[in-house]
């Protein structure tokens, strides 16, 4: 797909085209991309900005690059770990990234949060709401008595709390 289609694909299904900001990130991409495969990254234009609007400070150009493709719009793909300019209309594979967002939901209630039925009901409501928003890859964690615990360990924490341990 061309660069614009690749960007749209990543934004619809992930977060954006990958931005490579350090040599460590570039090495990670080298390990991910099979030899001989060209993949679009998020770098574009003659001022070399990332698809997410940030400036490009780290660069790893293939010898002889960057150079204008002559098409008026230049984008960048990875070629064996090094970067090469190419017309944005050219076809290439795509490399997206996904940013895991953390959200905190605070619940205040007079019900006994150590009651497994209450916990299950709250968990089911949260799962239903997340899935209705198209969010299927998530984890639920509880914080009680100043301690953060996973749902699976919640019953143990409640037992300790009820026994007088904090």
- Give dist(CA 82, CA 162) in Å, integer: 59
Cα separation, 141 vs 149, whole angstroms: 6
User: Which CATH number fits the domain that encloses residue 76?
Assistant: 3.10.100.10
Residue 34 lies in a domain: yes
Q: How many domains does the chain have?
A: 1
- Structural domain contains residue 80: yes
Assigned domain for 71 exists:
yes
- Whether 115 is in a domain gets the answer no
Q: Rounded to 5 degrees, what are φ and ψ at 44?
A: -155, 165
In a domain, 61, yes or no: yes
Look at residue 163 in the predicted model and tell me its pLDDT: 47
Q: Could you list the residue range(s) of the whole structural domain that residue 77 is in?
A: 3-97
pLDDT of residue 166: 32
Which stretches in the chain have pLDDT values below 50?
Answer: 147-149, 162-166
> Would you say the pTM of this structure is higher than 0.75?
no
Residue 65 falls inside a structural domain: yes
- Residue 117 lies inside a defined structural domain of this protein: no
Q: Dihedral of CA 79/56/27/93: which sign?
A: negative
Interval 112-158: pLDDT, tens = 877 888 888 888 988 898 888 777 777 777 776 554 445 555 555 56
- Report which secondary-structure segment, H or E, holds 112: none
Asked, for residue 128, whether it belongs to a domain, the answer is: no
Contact 2, 88 (CB under 8 A): yes
């Amino acid at each position: 797909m061309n660069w614009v289609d690749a960007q749209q694909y990543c934004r619809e299904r992930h977060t954006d085209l990958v931005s490579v900001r350090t040599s460590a990130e570039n090495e990670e991409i080298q390990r991910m991309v099979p030899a001989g495969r060209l993949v679009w990254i998020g770098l574009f234009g003659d001022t070399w900005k990332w698809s997410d609007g940030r400036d490009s400070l780290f660069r790893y150009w293939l010898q002889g690059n960057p150079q204008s493709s002559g098409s008026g719009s230049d984008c960048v793909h990875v070629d064996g770990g090094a970067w090469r300019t190419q017309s944005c209309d050219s076809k290439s594979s795509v490399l997206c990234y996904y940013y895991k967002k953390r959200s905190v939901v605070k619940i205040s209630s007079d019900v006994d949060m150590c009651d497994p039925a209450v916990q299950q009901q709250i968990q089911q409501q949260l799962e239903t709401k997340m899935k209705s928003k198209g969010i299927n890859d998530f984890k639920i964690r509880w914080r009680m008595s100043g301690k953060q615990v996973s749902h699976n360990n919640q019953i143990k924490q409640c037992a300790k709390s009820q026994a007088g341990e904090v």
